[in-house]
Amino acid sequence: MKTYLIKEILTECEAGEIRNAKEQFVAVLTAEEWREKRDVFDMGIDIERNPDEIYTTKAEVNYDSLAGTFSIPDRNNILENSFNFSFVLDERGILFIGCCEKVEKHINEIIRTKKWRLPGLERFIYDFLEQIVWNDQSLLEKYEKELDRMEDDIMESEDERWLSRANEIRREIRELRMHYEQMIDLGQEFEENENNFFKHENLRYFRLFIARIERLRDIATFTRDYSVQVRELYESRLEIRQNRIMTLLTIITTIFMPLTLIAGWYGMNFRYMPELDSVWGYPIVILVSLLIIAGSLLYFKKKKWL
């Protein structure tokens, strides 16, 4: 368990110090530590939720506290992994329960980079939420650049691996977009301030955060649509290629159909076919066949099928 006081910088302290401290606090506990030491914090709520049973980011208002969960997709493996933990807060501070390593990583980054002129719980929550999405704009731009390269490569070759990767990006963007929607709901719940845990002049932090997440959601929506366009481009290129193959096969069939008729006709070998005894019969059939081929090719070229 780690506990901190919200001063000009987030300052680590002993758990016993938070009872009589004037400053608001932040605490990070495992689920076992919460069950053992919940009386130290006196939050008036029991949290028994297993991290494996957390699937969404949300907040719920209780009589004397505000509790909820975080489910944060792992940016290195969005489809397969997420960081899940609970939180509970009141006007005195906030507790994070579970996934301590991930939470402490964000807190340590806040300690390293932030010094507050007007410290408070609202500002800490804002910075913590910012840490969750701090590199997402770069991530979405990286997706967009990858889709740009795919689009260029698809125009040069119909490699099937691009279709698989475009589908994967679309699924990852979908997960991120759902995450952003949940983060917007969480921010709006904080901004609602139903229990008056937050100072009204500090609710602007939550509005700022909601505006940023809405921008990320809009970028994610555009990138998802772009991935669909890349998929459609691949399918259209593939369809064009198949049409060309079908056109070529149709041309070949059309050319050889009359030649097959001639071959079948003179392959019947009836006894009184006059051409069978003609000296010019064989050359004439060859000439007629060549004329049919040449005429067909000229016709197809005129129609721009070749």
As for how many domains the chain has, the answer is 2
CATH of the domain at 90: 3.30.460
Write out the residue range of the structural domain in which residue 260 sits: 246-302
Q: pLDDT tens digits, residue range 251-269?
A: 888 888 888 888 887 777 6
Of the candidates 77, 96, 68, 91, the one whose C-alpha atom is nearest the C-alpha of residue 1 is 96
Q: Would 23 be classed as within a structural domain?
A: yes
Residue at 235 is within a domain? no
Q: pLDDT grade, residue 51 (50/70/90)?
A: low
> Taking residues 1-20, what's their average pLDDT?
90
Would the pLDDT of 20 be above 80?
A: yes
Which pair of tokens denotes residue 282?
């064989």
pLDDT confidence of residue 49:
59
Cα(188)–Cα(195) distance, integer angstroms: 14
Question: Quick check: pTM over 0.75?
Answer: yes
CATH number of the domain within which 291 lies: 1.20.58.340
**Strand, coil or helix: what is 262?**
helix
